């Protein structure tokens, strides 16, 4: 019984039922007086009276509005019913399929797209920069549904001196509010720096293969997603004053990343994504220009946010 009643959560009717059961021996005027007092007390308590349909007249005075009343006979029961309707969202309601987010792997209709621009702040690992400093960056991200359950996804991250571009296909599926996806991206990274008395002309580039697993859960007003990245370094090279300096990582795993994101509507037409990533990496893409001299695994946290812009 409890489970069946829970299915009617959107429509809860609160009724106040006044019975005239113990009316034996009372006179008809006494019953009408009790009824009138009961109605007044209900109105004083702020009970809604959308179901009023009649006017009660007594002693030549018109009283309105009056609560719907059912009279069977003078000696029978009197019923005074006030109702209130409370609307809510049932626990098993389907999520809004017309709202799409970038990180959440919720399937998109073909032709629908998501475009967002944001910023990130990475903490450069101590072993690379000799001190832990925040490194700001800009993110531009795009996702477009091209087939059922398949989307084209691309991302550009830049801190001016370091740039990372990757894109690929992502397969998405959902089971009610839970969604999951798998993607494979091909990426290109490029970094450069030139500063007198500190660095020579330093350049570095790399080709990478990025494997991604995404999990998401959509609540009524927002979505939570968790993504896992594995970056495979296909090839990387470094140059100093246009002379090949060294051969970087090649044919090896370079990064592991875990990203946690909350996405929700913002203002009237925008959507906001905010989250953080924790990387376990040998060569963070943000610091390739510092030509890695320490071949060890380092933790690299990153905090970011982005605003979805309608196209």
- Residue spans of the domains in the chain: they are 2-86, 113-308
Confidence band for 244, pLDDT divided at 50, 70 and 90: confident
Range with top average pLDDT, 86-90, 91-95, 258-262, 306-310: 258-262
Q: State pLDDT tens for residues 1-39.
A: 444 444 444 434 333 333 444 444 444 454 444 445 554
Confidence band for 196, pLDDT divided at 50, 70 and 90: low
Tell me what pLDDT residue 191 has: 86
Tell me what pLDDT residue 264 has: 92
Q: Which fold has domain 113-308?
A: Lipocalin (2.40.128)
Q: CB atoms < 10 A from the CB of 273, how many?
A: 25
3-state secondary structure the chain: CHHHHHCCCCCEEEEEEECCCCCCCCCHHHHHHHHHHHHHHHHHCCCCCCCCCEEEEECCEEEEEECCEEECCCCCCEEEEEEEEECCCCCCCCCCCCCCCCCCCCCCCCCCEEEEEEEEEEECCHHHHCCCCEEEEEEEEEEEEEECCEEEEEEEEECCCEEEEEEEEEEEEEECCEEEEEEEEEEEEEEEEEECCCEEEEEEEEEEEEEEEEEEEECCCCEEEEEEEEEEEEEEEEEECCEEEEECCCCEEEEEEEEEEEEEEECCCEEEEEEEEEEEECCCHHHHHHCCCCCCCEEEEEEEEEEECCC
Does residue 228 have a pLDDT over 90? yes
Q: State pLDDT tens for residues 258-306.
A: 999 999 988 777 899 999 999 998 877 776 655 455 567 888 899 999 9
Average pLDDT over residues 200-225: 92
Percent of the chain past pLDDT 90, that is, above it, reads: 41
* 174, 179, 184, 188: CA torsion to nearest 10: 130
């Amino acid at each position: 019984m409890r489970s069946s009643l829970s299915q009617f959560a959107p429509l809860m009717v609160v009724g106040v039922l006044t019975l005239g059961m113990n009316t034996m021996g009372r006179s008809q005027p006494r019953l009408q007086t009790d009824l009138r007092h009961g109605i007044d007390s209900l109105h004083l308590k702020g009970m809604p009276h959308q179901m009023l349909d009649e006017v009660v007249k007594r002693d030549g005075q018109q009283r309105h509005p009056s609560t719907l009343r059912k009279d069977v006979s003078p000696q029978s029961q009197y019923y005074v019913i006030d109702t209130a309707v409370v609307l809510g969202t049932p626990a098993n309601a389907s999520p809004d399929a017309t709202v799409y987010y970038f990180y959440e792997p919720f399937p998109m209709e073909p032709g629908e797209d998501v475009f967002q621009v944001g910023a990130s702040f990475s903490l450069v690992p101590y072993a690379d920069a000799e001190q832990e400093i925040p490194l700001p960056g800009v993110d531009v991200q795009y996702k477009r549904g091209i087939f059922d359950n398949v989307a084209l996804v691309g991302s550009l991250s830049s801190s001016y001196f370091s740039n990372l571009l990757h894109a690929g296909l992502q397969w998405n599926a959902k089971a009610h509010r839970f969604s999951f996806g798998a993607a494979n991206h091909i990426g290109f990274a490029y970094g450069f720096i030139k500063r007198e008395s500190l660095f020579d002309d330093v350049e570095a580039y790399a080709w990478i293969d990025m494997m991604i697993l995404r999990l998401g859960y959509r609540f009524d007003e927002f979505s939570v997603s968790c993504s896992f990245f594995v970056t495979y370094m296909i090839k990387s090279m470094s140059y100093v004053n246009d002379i090949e300096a060294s051969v970087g990582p090649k044919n090896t795993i370079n990064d592991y990343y875990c990203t946690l994101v909350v996405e929700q509507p913002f203002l009237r037409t925008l959507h906001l994504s905010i989250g953080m990533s924790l990387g376990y990496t040998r060569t963070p893409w943000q610091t390739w220009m510092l030509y890695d001299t320490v071949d060890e695994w380092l933790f690299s946290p990153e905090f970011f946010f982005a605003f979805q812009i309608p196209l």
